[in-house]
Amino acid sequence: MRITVVKEFTFDAAHNLPNHPGKCKHIHGHTYRLQVGVRGSVAPETGMVADFGILKDIVKMHVVDKLDHTFLNDSLDLFYLPNGAPTAENMVVWIVKVLNAFILEEWEGLVKLHFLRLYETPTSYAEWRGW
């Protein structure tokens, strides 16, 4: 049986969407809420799918610490975006790419990234789901 475990993070960042027809074309900030879920079988030795502390360290080091208190438009080299828009959707694509490699390495393929949800506001989010 596969189980998904989820860890939640918050970070603050600012951005603007120059090609947006509405108010988001102006510089503004968000307190982002990021939920990261990994999926696997419960290990008989530990009773866990993945150690929350290890998952926290991976996400904090490779995502949160890079984005927290930044102007996302200045960090576009992180995102490798052809359209240069630090939208929630494009951020999710980048975060999935970044985390996949580190999670597979840490748990040797036994645990995989399964779920990612990034709230831009308390009621608006972009989400990715894997296998």
- Residue 48's φ and ψ, nearest 5 degrees, are -125, 155
Q: Which of 26, 69, 105, 127 is catalytic?
A: 69
Supply the DSSP symbol for 109: T
Which of these is catalytic: 24, 30, 89, 106?
A: 24
C-alpha closest to that of 110 among 48, 53, 34: 48
- Whether 108 is catalytic is no
Please, are residues 67 and 13 in contact by the beta-carbon 8 Å criterion? yes
CB of 34 closer than 8 Å to CB of 117: yes
> Which of 2, 108, 103, 117 is CA-nearest to residue 56?
103
- CA-based nearest residue to 92, from 38, 45, 33, 40: 33
Instruction: Name the token pair of 36.
Output: 């990261």
Catalytic residue positions? Answer: 24, 69, 120
